[in-house]
Amino acid sequence: MILQRRVFLLMMLLLVAAVTGATANPDVRDGCQERCGDVIVPYPFGIGEPRCAMNANFFLDCNSTDEVLWFGKNMPARNISLLNGTVTAGIFYISFDCYNKSGLRDRHFNSYITLGPAYTFSDSRNMFTAVGCDTIGTVTNKEGTFGASCLSLCTRNVIMSKDNPCSGSGCCQTSIPKGLKSLDITIGSNYNHTNVSEFNPCGFAFLEDKDSLDLSDWPLSRTPKLNHTSNVVIEWVAQNETCEGAQANKSSYACGINTNCYYSDNGQGYRCACNTGFEGNPYLEQWCQDIDECKDPEKYTCHGKCHNTFGDYECKCSLGMHGDGKVGCQGFAITTIIAVIGAIVSLVIICLLIFMILSKRRKDKNFRENGGTVLKHQRVRIFSEAELTKATNNYDDDKKLGEGGFGSVYKGVLEDTTAVAVKKSKGVDKAQMNEDFQHEICVVSQVNHKNVVKLLGLCLETKVPLLVYEFISNGTLFKHIHDKRSQVLASWSNRLRIASEAALALDYLHSLADPPVIHGDVKSVNILLDDNYTAKVADFGASVLISPGQTNILATKIQGTFGYLDPEYLMTGNLTEKSDVYSFGVVLVELLTGEKPNSNAKSGKKRNFIQYFNSALENNDLFGILDFQAADEAEMDEIEAVAELAKRCLNSIGANRPSMKEVSEELAKLKSLNQKSWTQQNSDETEHLLGQSSQSFRNNTSPSTSQSQTVISFEIENFTNSI
């Protein structure tokens, strides 16, 4: 098993070596040597065996000892270019002419070079050059059809360098014609260097590649040396005939597949080149291979999406753009659009994040400044700003329940469907939001009375805290008093009950709350009615806390509602519990008369609301100003008692007013009497109805009895609802 694996691995290695060998030398024929020393020898040139070259004209000699590639007998090849159709070779024997100080010639050599039929000296790359201070260089060809010379003179030593213009002082140059196949270079002197022999004993003449010529290698003091060479560029052609003639004879045609035939610049014959989109050796049969232009974008421009094809490539503009992708596309690429959108989105996200961070810091700061650290430990819920904004639909005007001097109240619905009333304060000086306000919130949050609107929670993330109260569905007492369509106050019993419940709430605030609370803004608008029309005292925006034993608060500014304000408070600025009593007296008068505190009397005369009420009492015209009808004498007595109570509450001197406890107790007694009266009346009506039902029962069948019971039940329900 191990032996089989080794054999398999050996075969694979041989196969890889064979493939590598087959593809590693694409410029030579199979089995031929690719290079000689450092010089690559591509086909049609060849070394080693004659078959490796296209013909004898291209067969070169590679000296295996010193690894020198010889182009002819005395010319070492430096480079062979298929693309340019050139061979760069060195010429060992350079023409020179030397004299001693006596002016006698002691060394002299004229060079002569002839090329093969496929070669010519490049007229564009080479330049005939003569160096010396008393030198005449001449170049001719074997046929005698060309001749050129140049003269170089100087009387002092010239520093030779790359920057020397070689214009006749120290050296001179002249060009050669196209198609030159032989060179006969001669050199001479006018004065045998007699005047310059000390620094220039010899003159030189040679042909050299302009790109490799370095005049710093040719100082005027130079003397001949055997290893001195000049590099020349020799052009070559595949055959000395036209493309049409060569293509007609396929067996001798030098170009392979996917190639084209073109003429050399010197006009001596044709060369081969791979077609556009292909690369390789055009002289080998199948070595012009397709180029994948897409892999070389620097050379093959594509401004869109590149796709390689056989011998060419396609370049389609990116999505959102148009035009020739090889030249340039117009419009905006989808990637650019995406990048711009991405940048905008990123910027928006960054701005949002910054906004969220700053908003969070602002909310945290407000939370701390509004006493959140203390209040979060109280029995009150802390709402977020976002939660209340969502609940009130961003404080939509359609959600507004009312507006007062301290702020607006909006209806909201929490996520758990709980209806709430959100009080949003108006612009208040931040300095006013002090520890007293925070302490007030702590106390109000602990108030728990059935006739006081319950504070459900707070939002401390805003500059001024938001207060969240339970939502009272049936609006304000003010609405039901002055909206004649409302039937809630049609009966005296409901008016008395509501007054008693409101008084009970104020008595609780004055006597039982810890610390006591002066409401400061008692009015019918701040008395709400719930689903069962139970009175709920609300709005503590003007409320103040009083310490045990304290009887009054000296206000820095007067707060409250015109028409309900205590005149003593207006004159002295002292806010007391009796101030609430006065305001409640106004509410009692409002309940009795249906008049607004700041309106004209029913007679149409401009008269003070309180004076109008007191005048009616003095003139025994109380029942002439009532907003409703008394049911019987008992109710009339109760109404007179309430009117007298209201009169006492409205005393201009606070000390002469009853306390809220006295008011509450008196109204509670009247309410109790009213309920007894209604109970007795309902009992009499029930007995009367039962008598009728018994008589009916004796005269009618069972279904009639059932009907009679239904009537009894209906009356009782109405009675129950009425109280």
What pLDDT digit, counting tens, does each position of 178-214 carry? Answer: 999 999 999 999 999 999 999 999 999 999 999 999 9
Supply the CATH number for residue 438's domain: 3.30.200.20
**What pLDDT, on the 0 to 100 scale, is given for residue 239?**
92
Q: What is the percent of the chain where pLDDT is above 70?
A: 83
Structure tokens at 351: 């701005």
Q: Which amino acid does the sequence have at 2?
A: I
Round to whole Å and give the CA distance between 270 and 288: 18
Do 419 and 548 fall into the same domain? Answer: no
- Using CA atoms in the order 425, 431, 437, 438, what is the torsion angle rounded to 10 degrees? 100
Do 438 and 492 fall into the same domain? Answer: no
Do 627 and 706 fall into the same domain? Answer: no
Supply the CATH number for residue 590's domain: 1.10.510.10
Supply the CATH number for residue 227's domain: 2.60.120
In this prediction, residues 550-577 reach a mean pLDDT of 85
Specify the range with the lowest mean pLDDT, choosing from 145-159, 301-315, 342-356, 448-462. 448-462
Q: Which residue's structure tokens are 């008068």?
A: 589
Do 621 and 670 fall into the same domain? Answer: yes
What pLDDT digit, counting tens, does each position of 665-705 carry? Answer: 999 999 988 887 656 655 554 444 444 433 333 333 333 33
Other CB atoms within 10 A of residue 341 CB = 10
Q: What region, left, alpha or beta, does residue 332 occupy, with left being phi > 0 and alpha being psi -120 to 50 degrees?
A: beta
Among 236, 269, 286, the domain-final residue is: 236
Q: What confidence tier does 460 reach under pLDDT thresholds 50, 70, 90? A: confident
From the number of C-beta atoms within 10 Å of its C-beta (0-12, 13-18, 19+), residue 44 rates as: buried
Kindly write down the DSSP assignment for every residue of 80-126, as one continuous string: EETTTTEEEEEES--EEEEE-TTS-EEEEE-EEEE--TTEEE-TTTE
Do 672 and 684 fall into the same domain? Answer: no
Residue 323 above 60 pLDDT? yes
Angle between helices 577-593 and 609-618 (to 10 degrees): 70
CA 408 to chain centroid: 38
Round to whole Å and give the CA distance between 94 and 357: 86
What pLDDT digit, counting tens, does each position of 466-510 carry? Answer: 889 999 999 999 999 999 888 999 899 999 999 999 999 999 999
State the distance between the two ends of the chain, measured CA to CA, in whole angstroms.
110
Q: Which residues 6+ apart lie within 8 Å of 214 measured at CB?
A: 162
**What pLDDT, on the 0 to 100 scale, is given for residue 25?**
52
Residue 338 forms part of a structural domain: no
Q: What confidence tier does 431 reach under pLDDT thresholds 50, 70, 90? A: low
Element (H, E) at 583: helix 577-593
What pLDDT digit, counting tens, does each position of 443-457 carry? Answer: 676 678 999 998 888
Specify the range with the lowest mean pLDDT, choosing from 154-163, 325-334, 466-475, 711-720. 711-720
Q: Which residue's structure tokens are 């302490």?
A: 439
Among candidate residues 209, 521, 539, 566, the one labeled active-site is 521
Domain encompassing residue 217: 90-236
484 labelled ligand-binding? no
**What pLDDT, on the 0 to 100 scale, is given for residue 60?**
95
Residue 325 above 70 pLDDT? yes
From the number of C-beta atoms within 10 Å of its C-beta (0-12, 13-18, 19+), residue 611 rates as: exposed
Q: Which amino acid does the sequence have at 59?
A: F
What pLDDT digit, counting tens, does each position of 359-381 carry? Answer: 888 877 777 776 666 566 666 78
Residue 671 forms part of a structural domain: yes
User: Largest Cα–Cα distance of the chain, in whole Å?
Assistant: 181
Among 13, 40, 70, the domain-final residue is: 70
User: Sign of the C-alpha dihedral, residues 476, 482, 487, 488?
Assistant: positive
Do 34 and 128 fall into the same domain? Answer: no
Angle between helices 492-507 and 633-649 (to 10 degrees): 30
What pLDDT digit, counting tens, does each position of 249-275 carry? Answer: 988 999 999 999 999 888 789 999 999
Strands (E), 300-378: 305-309, 312-316, 321-322, 330-331
Q: Give the total number of structural domains in the chain.
A: 5
Do 514 and 460 fall into the same domain? Answer: no
What distances in angstroms separate CA 318 from CA 138, 304, 312, 332, 336, one per listed residue? 63, 5, 19, 9, 10
Residue 333 forms part of a structural domain: no
Do 694 and 709 fall into the same domain? Answer: yes
Of 709, 641, 722, the C-alpha closest to 681 is: 722
Residue 263 forms part of a structural domain: no
Do 496 and 617 fall into the same domain? Answer: yes
Do 495 and 599 fall into the same domain? Answer: yes
Q: Are 452 and 508 in contact (CB under 8 A)?
A: yes
Residue 336 forms part of a structural domain: no
Round to whole Å and give the CA distance between 455 and 536: 12
What pLDDT digit, counting tens, does each position of 90-137 carry? Answer: 998 899 999 999 999 999 999 999 999 999 999 999 999 999 999 999
Round to whole Å and give the CA distance between 110 and 220: 19
Residue 354 forms part of a structural domain: no
Do 499 and 458 fall into the same domain? Answer: no
Q: Is 521 a catalytic residue?
A: yes
Do 652 and 512 fall into the same domain? Answer: yes
Among 471, 504, 523, the domain-final residue is: 471
Cis geometry, peptide bond prior to residue 515 (ω within 30 degrees of 0): yes
